[in-house]
Amino acid sequence: MLKESFHLVTARRDHYQAKLLFLIFIASLGMFFIAALWAYIVIRRQSFEPIPVPYLELKLPSSLWLSTLALLGTSFYLERACWFVRRQLLEPFQKNLIYAAVLSLLFVLIQSFGLSELFRIHFAVADGSHKAYGMSFTLAFVHILHVVGGIAFLGYVLVQSYRGRYDHERFWAVKHCAGYWHFLDVVWIAMLLTFTLVR
């Protein structure tokens, strides 16, 4: 009895420590992306060149919009995975993790087409009027690097699920993985809105 109580206290302590580290991590990433988007807005609104160069209006490739569906789908299936593991339904839990993993890879694939298009347009004109495409490429590329980190996290959770590491009491890694992908959703939608509204 005493041993079980000690194990429960240790598990709760580990959970709270992991939760605190996760929140600090998300907060730091959030501040980074807020600063990056604010810098984008400032640069687009005014030029610091001696002779201002007009930026052409940014037209986002349709693949960037399409990739949003894959990103939101990843979060959706991860949230379903959390729902199933909380109820000890391990088979549908693992299936939803697989669905999320497939959609996350699809997001990267679709995004690669959009990023290559932004990169191509940035260098298409030598007078600097396409700088908006270079800036948007940089921000989207930084986001996709964090997506790759999310895929690694998701892969870890998936492997651990087949090792029987998660149940209705211990699933905080799954919850944090879902939370990280929700964060990526918010950042990406904020980017799209910034690219669309700041002309």
Residues of the chain below pLDDT 50: 2-9, 48
- In a domain, residue 74? The reply is yes
- In a domain, residue 94? The reply is yes
pLDDT tens digits, one per residue of 6-62: 444 455 666 677 788 888 989 999 999 999 999 888 887 765 455 555 667 788 899
Taking residue 91's Cβ as centre, other Cβ atoms within 10 Å add up to 8
pLDDT of residue 119: 87
CB neighbours of 178 closer than 8 A, spacing ≥ 6?
Answer: 75, 78, 79, 81, 82
How many domains are there within the chain?
1
- In a domain, residue 172? The reply is yes
Structure tokens at 22: 């996760």
CB 151 within 8 A of CB 70: no
- In a domain, residue 141? The reply is yes
- Here the CATH number for the domain that contains residue 179 is 1.20.120.80
- In a domain, residue 56? The reply is no
- In a domain, residue 55? The reply is no
Range of the domain at 153: 2-47+61-197
- In a domain, residue 193? The reply is yes
Distances (CA, A) of 70 to 75, 123, 130: 9, 28, 28
Element (H, E) at 174: helix 172-197
